[in-house]
Amino acid sequence: MRLIKFGFLVVALALVFAVAPNSAQRRSNNETKINALLAQMTLAEKLGQLQQLDGEGNGNFRPEHRELVRKGLLGSTLNVRGAKRTNELQRIAVEESRLKIPLLFGFDVIHGYRTIFPIPLAEASSWDPTLAEKSTSLAAQETYASGVRWTFAPMLDIARDPRWGRITEGAGEDPYLGAAFARARVLGFQGNDYSTPGKILACAKHWVAYGAAEGGRDYNTTDMSEQTLREIYFPPFKAAIDAGAGTVMSAFNDLNGVPTSANPFTLTKVLRGEWKFDGFVVSDYTSVKELINHGVAANDKEAAQAALNAGVDMEMVSRLFNEQGPGLLREGKVSLATIDEAVRRILRIKFRLGLFEHPYTREASETEILMTRTNRAAAREVAGRSMVLLKNDHDALPLRPGVGSIAVIGPLADDRRTPLGWWAGDGKPEDTITPLAGIKAKVSPQTKVGYAKGCETLGDSTAGFAEAVALARASDVAIIFVGENSETVGEAASKSSLDLSGRQMDLVKAVHATGKPTIVVLMNGRPLTIGWIVDNSPAILEAWMGGTEAGNAIADVLFGDVNPGGKLPVTFPRAVGQVPIYYNHMNTGRPPDANSRYTSKYLDVPWTPQFPFGFGLSYTQFKITNLQLSSQRIRPDGKLTVTVEVENVGRRAGDEVVQLYIRDVAASMTRPVKELKGFQRITLRPSEKRRIEFTLGPESLGFYNREMRFVVEPGEFKVMVGSSSEDVVESKFFVE
Ligand code: BGC
């Protein structure tokens, strides 16, 4: 009997595999269907697929969308969400429009849909890409349940300038770390097949170099060498494309004189030509129309022409492709082949997404899937692992659970909005656990927890200082929560000062003056200049904007249930005047020398950062020793193994992020003083020792030479392994 059943199973499986198309067949079937559709489409319907329009602020579509969809003049929306609403508009597309092409609903799910995870900069501080894969995968499930199938994420802009508010949305300053997080986030959102229920389409943005805006001023011009583009700004995008990202967003910025939403070099030569990307490119919000302001188009028609011919497929919000397409075609300024190709790319992704088979969303799934206990637990875990301990003199932290009384102070101690950060999806402040709530839930019943706000993050009032000071005096320990509010980070939130805003610094000083041990918890979306706090406060925890579960996660770390193991993904300057300051800089002809005036430094501030890239402490200590290389000489195409021993020499279990850097000492072009080429976050028990192994190959040792060829050049290389970019053990080898 068993054998017969088994036989049936084998036959059934064989049939399924024989009948179910494999992915190559599916792709070629799709292309056939696309050809059939293209053959039937009118020009207006084609241009309709290239149009994306915004909904109303509340997640609803606009009344005029119904008619546009019915006529086949709208292919996609942004910000329209909720299963009921998306189904309603989708029904018009699929049942009432002539060709029944489904709509694609997009939304900015940057760090969570309803359950909000830490801001991406924080998540990158975990140096654990598997966490990012987990959070994006849970965010994808919530997004899918809400009828949205496309996120405008991950944001992959390298940012070396904390004045730029959007540094909060990315993975920081380093291309290698950025690429690792790019890969993880694309896989989390999309999986290996984004037609799977619960998976959504990713969008690698903003292509490209948007993070290099001059002066850190949002939307500003960028101008850089092709080497810098290829070595610093491209790698996270390349990793996203290799991981299968289905779409890319062209950016707002001008790049070397050609705005990125009309740039054939980046959109066509690199993306499609070199990287073989076959998905579609959506413009950023009205960036096609803005080509006129940039001064590369005299009018709407020239703007549409420039963007279409450069390789933008879908236009977000402005409507120039639609309005100008027919005229451009008549005049031969844009070819029908170009328009057809844009339509083809968009339809290809709609097919791959399974929209034709499953255009609707099951309305009951929203209540089942959004903000579950599992998702909250994951948000708490990710937030805890994202925090960075910046200072901890005399083991001021962790706090003893039995501490008698705690003063919880500061404008962010009980703020429900700030932890959600910028682009908080559909996150709701009423769901947020604030630090005050997290601490109250953690302490034993004997502990007294008092709260005083002290001041706001902005403004000049010190009216609350007296209450805060009195509370600190009456308590055993003060924990003060300062930073930025969520409106002063993100898009269009550039700043010329990185100091704590409003009267927050004075509040820290006033509480410190009581003589009570004062722990500073930072909640912010960018590096801040906090020299006074570094010099005076015994302990500093960088908690970032930690999402829905921020308060619980902060309490976990403050009381030692979670031992902090995060590391900075971006350099903290001492003064805003040092910006841009980043670890992988060139050496210059006159590297800084304290004893020589005519070297590269400042008169009024040290040249070194406040906290270097890769820095972060733990409640335990680690020793990294015994750096060994598998050989001293390799060929340019050879590989090398690097090993070190890591030992937990403290008294608690904890995490170390072991980081590997290289330096190409002399080459045909100047090379950075350090480049991250490997990292591993590991957990060790007290006294536990582990060997960690890294491999270096041509992809880690090469660079783009003057002819823009990727080469590994002979000569000496340094290898540095350590616990931050500045705390390393060193060795060397030669490429022959
Ligand atoms: C931002 C994009 C975002 C888009 C849609 C733009 O202002 O630059 O990152 O995806 O709006 O919300």
Q: What local confidence, expressed as pLDDT, does residue 385 receive?
A: 98
Q: Dmax of the chain from CA atoms?
A: 90
- Partners of 601 in the beta sheet? none
Give the β-pairing of 715-722 and 728-735: antiparallel
Taking the centre of ligand 1 as the mean of its atom positions, its distance from the CA of residue 405, in whole angstroms, is 45
pLDDT(522) > 50:
yes
Taking the centre of ligand 1 as the mean of its atom positions, its distance from the CA of residue 283, in whole angstroms, is 9
573's enclosing H/E stretch is none
Closest ligand 1 atom, CA of 169? Answer: 9
Q: Which residues contact 677 (CB under 8 A, 6 or more apart)?
A: 176, 660, 661, 662, 694, 696, 700
pLDDT digits 0-9 by tens, 287-296:
999 999 999 9
Q: What local confidence, expressed as pLDDT, does residue 8 receive?
A: 55
Pick from 189, 123, 117, 119: nearest CA to 681: 123
* Residue position matching structure tokens 């990307």: 277
Pick from 438, 414, 386, 467: nearest CA to 111: 386
Instruction: Name the percent of the chain lying above pLDDT 70.
Output: 97
Give the pLDDT band of residue 526 (cuts 50, 70, 90). very high
Closest ligand 1 atom, CA of 155? Answer: 9
3-state secondary structure of 642: strand
Give the pLDDT band of residue 585 (cuts 50, 70, 90). very high
pLDDT digits 0-9 by tens, 55-103:
998 999 999 999 999 999 999 999 999 999 999 999 999 999 999 999 9
Q: What local confidence, expressed as pLDDT, does residue 22 receive?
A: 78
pLDDT digits 0-9 by tens, 144-186:
999 999 999 999 999 999 999 999 999 999 999 999 999 999 9
- Establish whether the linkage from the previous residue to 398 is cis, with ω within 30° of 0: yes
Q: What local confidence, expressed as pLDDT, does residue 57 receive?
A: 87
| Residue 256, CA distances (Å) to 212, 220, 308 in order | 12, 12, 19
Q: Atom 12 (ligand 1): residue with closest C-alpha?
A: 108
| Residue 566, CA distances (Å) to 108, 155, 185, 382, 439 in order | 26, 21, 18, 11, 21
Average pLDDT over residues 194-223: 98
Q: What local confidence, expressed as pLDDT, does residue 20 receive?
A: 61
3-state secondary structure of 677: strand
Pick from 116, 121, 186, 131: nearest CA to 154: 186
Q: What local confidence, expressed as pLDDT, does residue 201 receive?
A: 98
Q: What local confidence, expressed as pLDDT, does residue 256 receive?
A: 98
Q: What local confidence, expressed as pLDDT, does residue 401 receive?
A: 75
Pick from 205, 285, 317, 494 the residue to mutate for probing ligand 1's pocket: most ligand atoms within 8 Å of its CB: 285
Give the pLDDT band of residue 490 (cuts 50, 70, 90). very high
Average pLDDT over residues 522-534: 98
Taking the centre of ligand 1 as the mean of its atom positions, its distance from the CA of residue 145, in whole angstroms, is 22
pLDDT digits 0-9 by tens, 492-506:
999 999 999 999 999
Q: Atom 11 (ligand 1): residue with closest C-alpha?
A: 285
Taking the centre of ligand 1 as the mean of its atom positions, its distance from the CA of residue 107, in whole angstroms, is 9
pLDDT(1) > 70:
no
Taking the centre of ligand 1 as the mean of its atom positions, its distance from the CA of residue 656, in whole angstroms, is 36
Q: Extract the runs of DSSP E, i.e. beta strands, from 156-241.
A: 203-207
Average pLDDT over residues 670-684: 98
284 is an active site residue: yes
Residues in the chain: 736
Closest ligand 1 atom, CA of 252? Answer: 8
pLDDT(379) > 60:
yes
pLDDT(9) > 90:
no
| Residue list, ligand 1 pocket, CB within 6 Å | 78, 108, 152, 205, 284-285, 491
3-state secondary structure of 527: coil
Which residue pairs, CB below 8 angstroms and at least 24 apart, start in 374-378?
374/138, 375/115, 375/138, 375/142, 376/115, 376/548, 376/549, 377/549, 378/115, 378/117, 378/134, 378/135, 378/138
Average pLDDT over residues 720-729: 98
Average pLDDT over residues 688-694: 98
Mean pLDDT of the chain: 96
Instruction: Name the percent of the chain lying above pLDDT 90.
Output: 96
SS (H, E, C) 440-506: HHHCCCCCEEEEECCCCCCCCCCCCHHHHHHHHHCCCEEEEEEECCHHHCCCCCCCCCCCCCCCHHH
| Residue 65, CA distances (Å) to 45, 48, 88, 95 in order | 15, 12, 11, 15
Closest ligand 1 atom, CA of 152? Answer: 10
Average pLDDT over residues 632-645: 98
pLDDT digits 0-9 by tens, 337-375:
999 999 999 999 999 999 999 999 999 999 999 999 999
pLDDT digits 0-9 by tens, 590-605:
999 999 999 999 999 9
Give the pLDDT band of residue 442 (cuts 50, 70, 90). very high
pLDDT(4) > 80:
no
Closest ligand 1 atom, CA of 203? Answer: 10
Q: What is the pTM of this model?
A: 0.96
| Residue 134, CA distances (Å) to 73, 128, 238, 708 in order | 37, 10, 21, 37
Query: If you write DSSP's letter for every residue of 231-264 in order, what string do you get?
Result: IIISHHHHHHHHTT--EEEE-SSEETTEEGGG-H
Amino acid at 496: S
Pick from 152, 166, 314 the residue to mutate for probing ligand 1's pocket: most ligand atoms within 8 Å of its CB: 152
- Partners of 659 in the beta sheet? 679, 722
pLDDT(264) > 80:
yes
Catalytic residue among 108, 284, 415, 556: 284
Pick from 673, 656, 655: nearest CA to 664: 673
Q: What local confidence, expressed as pLDDT, does residue 600 receive?
A: 98
